[in-house]
Amino acid sequence: MFDKEKCTLCGECLMKCHYLAYSEEKAKLEFKKLIDGEDTPVTADCITCAACNMFCPEGANPFDLINDRQEETGTFKVEEQTIRMFNMASALPSSVIKGDPEKPVMNLCTVDILPGVIEGQLFEGMTLLKGGEYFCYLGWVHAGKPSMLKQNAQKFVDNLVKTGAKEIILFHDDCYAMLSNKVKEFGINVPFKSIHIIEYLRDYVKDHIDEIEKLNIKVAYQQPCASRYHFDIDSILGDLFELIGVERVSRKYQRENALCCGGVQRSMINVSKEESENWRMKNLLDAKESGAEAMVFLCPICVLSLRSRAKAQGLEPYIISNLVRLALGEELTNGGAGKIFN
């Protein structure tokens, strides 16, 4: 939620944005227009990565204002198939795959889309939730429709509560962001403990450290946009990488300065395919030139957007749980990122 009282109109949010990169004067002018409800190109050109919330030195959450204005003005235009995809997500058949009652419960949301990922000892015996009833709705911010979050947040929480679980692991970063951040803005109580998948993986490795064979590889990490809402998880990621023998290379486009995977740009009507590809290649070449041997993903949508492109640049793609499985000595039946490359 944007906090107008905290905003000093310093312009940092729009100056540091990789995609807008306004001058200080223009940044201050255009953000003032956002506050005053005036027309500004920001609402059409912002790619909804939410990085500006991290750039803001006062914690005013400028992206939340931009996103609200995008919906109010209707100026953020995405392909109709993007809208259909989000509508379809909430309508997908739901299921609860019962596991051992002593084992954890994990929500897969609607992103159980990569073969050969939810298998192996990490997930053995888990109760799995998936389908439209367990869709978190956070993705709607990337369609310029944040009201969908508020309208459906209580339903999302209620459906999880109905499972009776005291703790729920969130496989999708968006789900954790929704439960740890957004629902609080709506005054919704979450009566169970939300556990980020990275936290679960870190703790699992600690408990099975004798089974770990360190990988000794250098990786670049593709940070999901939703991580802007809970950046404290990044330190846990560092712990996990150290435990499995992974070095995260130092590069330009990481942490605060991370780039979007390119999926949102590709769906934006006013962004050409060439421009979207250029940004994707900036990201991957930055990783490659920084000495990474592999590209590690958390979000399955990021995997689909970048895995083949990463492979073409000599960066072996892994979704993070499969990287842990590799350190546990398991065979990855569909490769590191749900696809066998010939």
What's the predicted TM-score (pTM) here?
Answer: 0.95
Residue 342 pLDDT greater than 80, yes or no = no
Residue 269 pLDDT greater than 90, yes or no = yes
Q: What's residue 57's pLDDT? A: 95
Residue 341 pLDDT greater than 90, yes or no = no
What residue ranges do the domains of the chain occupy?
12-73, 80-200, 201-327
**3-class DSSP state for residue 297?**
strand
Contact in structure between 106 and 129 (CB atoms under 8 Å)? yes
Q: What's residue 129's pLDDT? A: 98
Q: What is the pLDDT of residues 35-94, one digit of tens each?
A: 999 999 999 999 999 999 999 999 999 999 999 999 999 999 999 999 999 999 999 999
Region 174-188 average pLDDT: 96
Region 153-173 average pLDDT: 97
Distances (CA, A) of 153 to 148, 175, 342: 8, 11, 42
Please identify, in words, the CATH class of the domain defined by 80-200: alpha beta
DSSP string of 273-286?
A: HHHHHHHHHHHHHH
Q: What is the pLDDT of residues 108-128, one digit of tens each?
A: 999 999 999 999 999 999 999
Whether 201-327 and 80-200 are alike in CATH topology: the answer is yes
Region 289-301 average pLDDT: 97
Q: Which amino acid is at 193?
A: K
Contact in structure between 321 and 117 (CB atoms under 8 Å)? yes
Residue range 201-327 in CATH 3.40.50 = yes
Please, which pLDDT band fits residue 231 given cuts at 50, 70 and 90?
confident
Q: What is the pLDDT of residues 84-95, one digit of tens each?
A: 999 999 999 999
